[in-house]
Amino acid sequence: MSKVLTGLPCRFALLLALIWSVQISAALRLEPELAGLTSQQQRFTYDLLEQVDERLPPRLKEQLDQIVRVRWTGDLKPRVMGRATFNHEILLSARLLVDQDESLAQRTLVHELAHLYDRLVPAGLDWRCAARLHAQGPVGLPPHCRGQAERRFRLRDDPRLLDLAGWPERVGDRGRRERENRQLLRSPDAYELSSPAEFVAVNTEYFLLDPSYGCRRPALYRFFVEHFDWAPFDTRCADIYPYLNAGADKHQSLLGWLDPERVYAVHYLLAEPEQTLASRWGHSMLRLVVCAPGHPRGPDCLLDLEQDLVLSFRAYVDDVQLSHWDGLVGQYPSRLFMLPLAQVVDEYTKLELRSLRSVPLQLSRDEIEGVVQQATQLHWAYDGRYFFIGNNCAVETLKLLRTGSRSERLIDLESQTPIGLLQLLEARGVANASVLADATEALRLGYRFDSYAERYRSIFALLRERLGLQVTGFEQWLALPPEARARWFAHADLRSTAALLLLEQAALRRQLLEAQHALKVRYLRGADSEESVRAAGELVATLLRARGFLSRPADLLAEGYGLPQPEEWQALSQLGDQRKNVLLGLEGRLESVLPALLSAEQQQRLAAGQRNLERLHAQVRRLKSVEK
């Protein structure tokens, strides 16, 4: 001890002696190498070791029952601040000593101690065997090492940590983990994504040193608290989560708020299959049944449809065409959208003419809150790759359910198709499909949302009976030229006119979608040379790029990590609304120029369709007045 204290003032030396006597009594002993340091540098070193020692969990110190030498060195690479060796030594960059940056020095020392803890090996194992054990585990160890080594279950191997960290188990390839960590956004340090070992070290830093970690990464914070049986801070977090409402209209704010306490249930939401390659197996989503403010949690919340949110993993396409090849090789980003249920229902039932099944999942209260928490975390962090086979909506939804709920019923569940996943959830007793048995009751309570195709078929059957229409199905009717449909209007009574009006609205909606898609394809390809055409193409491309942040909410925030905290909410809301106003301006400009760029045939069909609607509205009013 006298060598350590050489050159220090007597009063300070006495204080250090008292401190060091406490350190020696602990299982972990941090031993500084002070040769060649000035008294100020020695004081900085002792302060650093004392501050870090106070932050360490008792379990970590007990498990690291060894002397760990801490030495300053100038031999590390420029971007490397520290290194934990396999002979119980931690090297710290001399640049930290020169800059006297306490915060960075603490983080570096904790980071390296976390590495030592995570690669714990049996006492008496020499450093060469320890290095081999660290690199490859007990398999393949030389005979003189094998007898000494009994591999410990390391943090980096913990299935729960790997799920939360972003290396979940691959669906369809049981036992293997995802090769890449795609939770790329809102990371405190991109170095954590390089490997599970570095993820453990970086997150141990933040767990022990950042009071906001428990609110920014609540599931990981809970994991470390449970692992160490110890909490570094009295963490109190906001009781609501912010999310970006990509379905907001011009009267709504883009920033929405999700209160886990108001989530009554989680449903598996299945969009029925259709004939296109991308949709022939259906689409997997999760529905959060959210109670209206002031409503107690219970079955009555099923009727609060305007509050419900849909969690939907989608391939974000910033181009105008969905390429099957690109989907197979993972060229599309996969993002988690949080959308109003009403928008999703309209999108599938009215535009795509597909029915929806909303099947309740039998989850406990803790499991529901875990799914909500994990979904919100992914909403801000996840930037995956979408594969039609291997990492599609069903796979992503299953991984979210697994990680969020921690349900043992889902651990070995594997399915790569939306319908197959629903069937397996039913077989495991997780999904309760009995609510669909009574079709009328299922529609009334929101367990099923029928495609408008069913409605159109029944309407068209009525019209065929009353008007003697010659076409065989409503699809053929909608495809007719507007003038051909208009020839039958004069023969319709009030009920038939109302039916014709509904079909005419569907026909015009279909024509508008077809015209918009044709314009996108034409102008983004840049095949036209006319100046107005090129300008429209640039406007379309600008609009598509500007909409990109709706799928990557993290782009709205330049600082912070994890879930946005209250101090970030105001800036987040303001910037979101600014971006929304830019989008509305671009959409307004586009609407003003696109009609003139339609072909003469397209303009004629749209105008004729609009005249049909006006004529049918007038006919309904006239026939109602006659009946009175």
Residue 130, in any domain of the structure: no
Do 611 and 500 belong together in one domain?
A: yes
**pLDDT of amino acid 614:** 95
**Domain enclosing residue 306, as ranges:** 241-450
- In angstroms, how far is CA 189 from the centroid of its own chain? 18
Shared domain check, 319 and 189:
no
pLDDT digits (tens, 9 = 90+) for 193-209: 999 999 999 999 999 99
Instruction: Name which of 6-15, 235-244, 396-405, 541-550 the model is least confident about.
Output: 6-15
Name the least confident of 408-417, 474-483, 516-525.
516-525
Within a domain: residue 2? no
Q: What pLDDT, on the 0 to 100 scale, is given for residue 534?
A: 66
> What rounded mean pLDDT belongs to the chain?
84
Residues 462 and 440 in one domain: no
- Pick the last residue of a domain from 198, 228, 258: 228
Tell whether 125 is covered by a domain: no
Q: Which positions ≥6 away from 90 have C-beta within 8 Å?
A: 68, 69, 70, 71, 82, 83, 84, 109, 112, 113, 116
Is residue 426 in a domain?
Answer: yes
Residues 540 and 395 in one domain: no
In a domain, 343, yes or no: yes
Task: With beta carbons less than 8 A apart as the criterion, state whether 230 and 58 touch.
Answer: yes
Task: Give the C-alpha separation, 290 to 260, whole Å.
Answer: 9
Of 450, 475, 490, the domain-final residue: 450
Model pLDDT for residues 341-355, shown as the tens digit of each residue: 999 999 999 888 899
User: Residue 533: what pLDDT?
Assistant: 62
* pLDDT higher than threshold 70 for residue 326: no
Looking at residue 170, its pLDDT comes to 82
| Same-domain status, 165 and 213 | yes
- pLDDT bin (cut points 50, 70, 90) of residue 582 is confident
Confidence (pLDDT) at 138: 52
The verdict on 499 and 476 lying in the same domain is yes
How far is residue 208's CA from residue 107's CA, in Å, rounded to a whole number?
9
pLDDT digits (tens, 9 = 90+) for 509-522: 888 878 777 766 66
Q: What is the pTM of this model?
A: 0.83
Q: Which strands sit side by side in the sheet containing 89-93, from one edge to the other?
A: 29-32, 67-73, 89-93, 82-84
**Shared-domain flag, residues 85 and 103:** yes
Same domain, residue pair 573 and 586: yes
Residue 276 covered by a domain: yes
Work out the pLDDT band at 123, boundaries 50, 70, 90.
very low
- Same domain for 464 and 441: no
Q: Are residues 304 and 411 in the same domain?
A: yes
pLDDT of residue 119: 85
Report the domain count for the chain: 4
Q: How many CB atoms lie within 10 A of CB 443?
A: 13
Mean pLDDT of 165-176: 82
Q: Which of 228, 257, 289 is the last residue of a domain?
A: 228
Q: Is 3 inside a domain boundary?
A: no
Determine, yes or no, domain membership for 134.
no
**Mean of the pLDDT values across residues 38-59?**
95
What is the pLDDT confidence band of residue 11, given thresholds at 50, 70 and 90?
very low
* 426 and 328 in a common domain: yes
Q: Please check whether residue 588 is in contact with residue 580, taking contact to mean a CB–CB distance below 8 angstroms.
A: no
Please name the amino acid found at residue 399: K
Residues 282 and 412 in one domain: yes
pLDDT category of residue 1 using cuts at 50, 70 and 90? very low
> What pLDDT, on the 0 to 100 scale, is given for residue 610?
92
| Confidence (pLDDT) at 136 | 55
Which has more pLDDT, 431 or 276? 431
Query: DSSP labels for 396-427?
Result: HHHHHHHHHH--GGGTT---SSHHHHHHHHHH
Stretch 15-21: mean pLDDT, rounded?
44
Tokens representing residue 189 in the block? 């340090």
Question: Reduced to 3 states, what is the DSSP secondary structure of residue 483?
Answer: helix
Checking DSSP bridges between strand 283-290 and strand 384-386, what pairing results, if any?
unpaired
* Distance separating alpha carbons of residues 343 and 309, to the nearest angstrom: 10
User: Quick one: pLDDT band at residue 250, thresholds 50, 70, 90?
Assistant: confident
Closest CA to 95 of 111, 120, 112, 78: 78
* Half-sphere exposure of residue 128: CA atoms within 13 angstroms, side-chain side: 5
